[in-house]
Each structure stands twice: as C-alpha cells, then as structure tokens.
Amino acid sequence: VRAGRPYNGRRGGPVRNLKLTLAYVGTRFAGWQVQPGLDTVQGILEARLGAMLRERVRLLGAGRTDAGVHARGQVASFTTASRIPPEGLRRGLNARLPDDIRVLAVEEAPAGFHAREHALSKEYHYRIVRGEVVSPFETPFALWVYRSLDVAAMQAAAAGLRGRHDFTSFCAAGSTVRSRVRTVFESEVAEEGTFVVYRVRADGFLQHMVRTIAGTLLLAGSRRLDPGAIPAVLGAMDRRRAGPCAPPRGLFLVKVHYGEAT
Amino acid sequence: VRAGRPYNGRRGGPVRNLKLTLAYVGTRFAGWQVQPGLDTVQGILEARLGAMLRERVRLLGAGRTDAGVHARGQVASFTTASRIPPEGLRRGLNARLPDDIRVLAVEEAPAGFHAREHALSKEYHYRIVRGEVVSPFETPFALWVYRSLDVAAMQAAAAGLRGRHDFTSFCAAGSTVRSRVRTVFESEVAEEGTFVVYRVRADGFLQHMVRTIAGTLLLAGSRRLDPGAIPAVLGAMDRRRAGPCAPPRGLFLVKVHYGEAT
C-alpha cells in the first residue's frame, strides 16, 4: 500500500464512501466493536463485506454499542473501490449476513464522510416492561420490573438531565475518555401501556451512560432517589452517586442524526 | 402405586386438577411434546414442576405445537397433591423456567378437566411480513415474503376453508390420525401495515394443517392458485393438491377456547 492511497483502492476505480444504516438484535453479540475471537457486529459485517467485495473493509460505526445492546438505526461508513450500486450492495450483503443483522439502507456518502465524527446527535431508547409476568416475546427487548413505578418521578428525573453537563457520575468508572461533557437535547420518559420508555438524544454518550441513566431513573421510579437530586448527582462528578447500570437488553440505538437541526 | 390411586397423590391430600396458560418462544425447542434427548416445552415444564412439587408430573397439552412454533396461549392441565396456591405455583414455576417459557396463569380446574379433550376450539395465527428488508426483530416471528401479495385472493382462499371438511389435502402425508374431518369456525386474512396475518379457529387441527394452509394461501397470494379452486383441493383429499408447508417461525398458538359458544 502506497502512502496517500487508500488500501482498498487497488482496482484503480474511484474510491467511493458509503453509508450503511443497520439494525441488529444485540442478544448474542459481544457488542459492535471488533474483538478477536468474539462475535461482534462490526466483525461480522467487515468479514462479509470483505468477502463480497474482495477488499479489506474497515467500518466506522457511529455508536459503539455494548454487548447485548440492540440497534434499529446504527450507521456505519466505509470506503471501497467497488462499483456495485448501493441497491446491489444492500441485497448482496443481506444475503450473506445472519438474520439478526440487517442492512436497512446503503447510500453514497460525500468523500470524507465519517459515521461517528459527523454525527450531530444519536438517539437511544431504554425500554422497561411492567407486570406480574412478562411475555417471553418481550424478555430479550425490555427490562422487566415487577414493582410499580412512579412514572412522574422518572419524568422529573429525566428532565433534570437535559442540557450541557459533565456526565462523569453516569460514566463507567474505568473509562479513560478525556472530556465527559456532553449535551443532552432530549431526555424524556413516556408511559406506553405496560411499557415505560426512556428516550434520550445527545451529541455524544459516555460508556454505559444511557444504562446508568436508566438505572438512576429506576431509583427515582421506586422512590429511592428524589428527582430533585439529579443536579447534585451531576455536580458530584462521582459514579457512586448515580444508580446501577441497567442491563443491556432494554437498550436500543434508534437513530443517528446528520445535518439536521439539533 | 396402588390401582385406583393417582401416582402423585402420595402426600395424602386431595388431588387437585390445575390448568396452566402458557406462552413460549418456540425457536429453540423441538416442539411441545416430550422427546428423549431434545429440549421440548412439555419436557422442561414437567421437569421444573416435578422438581418444585417433588412429584412426577404429567402435563396434558391442548395443542402439540411443532418444532419452532410459538405460543401466546397454550393450555396444559395436570393433577397434583400439592397444596401450593395457584399464585405461588405461577411465581415459583416462572422463577425456575427459562425466559422463553412463561406461565401466564395457574387456575384450579374441575376434577377430570383435560386440556386437550375439553377444548372446544383452538386459534392459531400465521404471520407474514412483506418488504425489501425485514427487521431483524421480526425475522424469528414471521415469514418474510419479498414479492407483492394479492391479499384479496388470499382472503377469498381463506374463506373457502370455513366449515366442516375432510382436511386430508392439508395434513402431513405421514399422519396416522383416523378422522381428518375438522370444523373450521373462523378463517380469515387481514392486512396490518407491512404484515399479513392469517387467523384460523377450528375444533381441532391435523399435523402441519395451519402451515399447509398458509403455504396454500401464499400460492393464491402470488397468483399461482385460483382461490376458487379451494373446494376442489379439499375434495381431492390428496396432500399434493395443496401448497407447501410454510416454515414454523410465523405460526402462533394464540388461544384455546373452553366452554364458550363456538
């Protein structure tokens, strides 16, 4: 590979930048990011794309979803020298992928487009299902909560997270990220039948951030945390002040926003 | 075990008859019925109930769902000498069962109640999902059909199956059942967004009957079978005249009716 030339440009055609929109059931995966010896969404996609295009493909994913987290609208970009039209790529790739990963769309992207760096915001949902018995069809896709929840308290706590804050209290203790300041554009809890759904949109997320928020909202919902204490929890910049990290099965990466008004 | 005494009556209490209402995701099971060396719903339930009650438990299931078929309202009955109240049985059993099998309800049933023999009718749904790409969250629970479907033709074909008929043409070729006459009370196709759902209620079902009907409706939907030919297909009493057996993942046992008007 010569310097200044993309490694997968070897067929001499113009290098294209492509944007994939993806959905996957996270249950059996060790998360998005490639890890040697483990089934990851990125790893499977890169292997199938590589076999199909006969190139080494490197995907740039918008969100690094954890093990067990689902996606309805993950976005990933990659460059290729292939001339296969987007529609053919989508069909060919879906034919090669396992059923629990689907390519919803393939689009041409501008040169230099980077799925993560150019994302203006990402939207996650955390789903909670209540009731004496949870349907086995919902168990993999929601956190079951037996006790009753004070949804108004959860809504008040969620509202307290909106805005620009240092989210250290909601970040995995081992994280080595430099800045923990993020802007939360939307943060709301809605009751939908037996479900309680938390929706959050921000310019970026720290490791375990949505799950730690969900665990904290559940503390408020079970009246073990005053929703009015959220500013103090944020201000403490101490992971021990927030609630536990809720399990991954309730979490969905729903949408990545590019170029829209935030 | 003495003659005339139930084998599980050893604690000397009055023998109770109990009715379980069950939901399960059929994907990983070799069907309802116990088969040595395979994971079956009946086998797992009998093992967990037996361990909990310290009795040998024999479940009578209303429907013998095939491998991969789901249930939202399967019913099973069993006798026990246990005095645990229904609510305690439900909770204890759910705590011991894998997440993909759930006990929705436990009720006291009259002496002699038999979940299969006393069922007046059973209701199954077969789900079809259309579109260029199917959501990975739907793949395990619906048959994906890429081509467009003539839903009106499917509706006409479904209507032709109502009533009392010999369903030999829709019965697995290897079946050894004596009478293949069944009464179909409801048989209808509904369009629900990207889904097409077939609903059928009958006094009984033959092996592969709903899936073979679904496969036949799909022939009508793709204009490879005239819906007006259904009476002739029934009249032929020849399995080769109906369509293929559709895959199990779209099929749900939804409800078992007892004592209501049919």
In terms of Cβ atoms closer than 10 Å to its own Cβ (0-12, 13-18, 19+), residue B2 is: exposed
Share of chain A above pLDDT 90, in %: 89
Chain B environment of A99 (Cβ under 8 Å)? 136, 139-140
Q: Which of B76, B14, B10, B15 has the alpha carbon at shortest distance from B49?
A: B76
Q: Tell me whether residues A137 and B136 touch, CB distance under 8 A.
A: no
Say what the pTM is.
Answer: 0.90
> What digits encode the pLDDT tens for the residues A36-89?
999 999 999 999 999 999 999 999 999 999 999 999 999 999 999 999 999 999
Q: What is the full DSSP assignment across A107-162?
A: EEE-TT--TTTT-SEEEEEEEEEESSS--TTTGGGSEEE-S---HHHHHHHHHTT-
- CA triplet A43, A49, A55: central angle to 5 degrees? 105
Task: Give the per-residue pLDDT at A11.
Answer: 53
The confidence band for A174, taking pLDDT boundaries of 50, 70 and 90, is confident
Question: What span, in angstroms and rounded, lies between the C-alpha atoms of B187 and B221?
Answer: 15
Chain A environment of B102 (Cβ under 8 Å)? 133-136
Of A25, A102, A136, the CB nearest to B101: A136
Nearest chain B residue (CA) to A93: B133
Residue range A124-151: mean pLDDT, rounded: 95
Task: Give the per-residue pLDDT at B81.
Answer: 94
Of B23, B101, B135, the CB nearest to A102: B135
Q: Tell me whether residues B99 and A70 touch, CB distance under 8 A.
A: no
Task: Give the per-residue pLDDT at B11.
Answer: 53
Chain B environment of A139 (Cβ under 8 Å)? 99-100
- b/e burial code for range A178-200 (CB count within 10 A of at least 16 → b): eebebebbebebeeeeeebbbbb
Low-confidence ranges of chain B (pLDDT < 50): 1-10, 261-262
Pairing between β-strand B195-202 and β-strand B181-192 as defined by DSSP bridges: antiparallel
Mean pLDDT, chain A, as a whole number? 93
Question: What span, in angstroms and rounded, lies between the C-alpha atoms of B231 and A32?
Answer: 53
Is the predicted pLDDT of residue A258 greater than 80, yes or no? yes
- CA triplet A238, A244, A247: central angle to 5 degrees? 140
Task: Give the per-residue pLDDT at A14.
Answer: 75
* Residue B203 known to be catalytic: no
> What digits encode the pLDDT tens for the residues B181-209?
999 999 999 999 999 999 999 999 999 99
Of A24, A99, A135, the CB nearest to B23: A135
Measured between CB atoms, does A23 come within 8 Å of chain B? yes
Measured between CB atoms, does B145 come within 8 Å of chain A? no
Q: Token pair for residue A149?
A: 């929840």
What are residue B173's DSSP bridge partners? none
Task: Give the per-residue pLDDT at B12.
Answer: 56
Task: Give the per-residue pLDDT at B7.
Answer: 46
From residue A60, alpha-carbon distances to A19, A21, A119 in Å are 9, 12, 12
- CA triplet A94, A96, A102: central angle to 5 degrees? 30
Q: Which of B60, B55, B62, B105 has the alpha carbon at shortest distance from B80?
A: B55
Long-range pairs for B229-235 at CB < 8 Å and ≥24 separation? B230/B157, B230/B160, B230/B161, B231/B160, B233/B169, B234/B160, B234/B161, B234/B165, B234/B166, B234/B167, B234/B169, B234/B170
Read off φ and ψ for residue B162, nearest 5 degrees.
-65, 150
Task: Give the per-residue pLDDT at A13.
Answer: 63
Task: Give the per-residue pLDDT at A5.
Answer: 44
Question: What span, in angstroms and rounded, lies between the C-alpha atoms of B258 and B108?
Answer: 14
Measured between CB atoms, does B254 come within 8 Å of chain A? no
Is the predicted pLDDT of residue A139 greater than 80, yes or no? yes
Q: Which of A227, A207, A231 has the alpha carbon at shortest distance from A219?
A: A227
The confidence band for A118, taking pLDDT boundaries of 50, 70 and 90, is very high
- CA triplet A239, A167, A24: central angle to 5 degrees? 95
Question: What span, in angstroms and rounded, lies between the C-alpha atoms of A44 and A41?
Answer: 5
Task: Give the per-residue pLDDT at B13.
Answer: 62
Of A104, A136, A141, the CB nearest to B100: A136
ipTM of the complex: 0.89
Question: What span, in angstroms and rounded, lies between the C-alpha atoms of A46 and A22?
Answer: 13
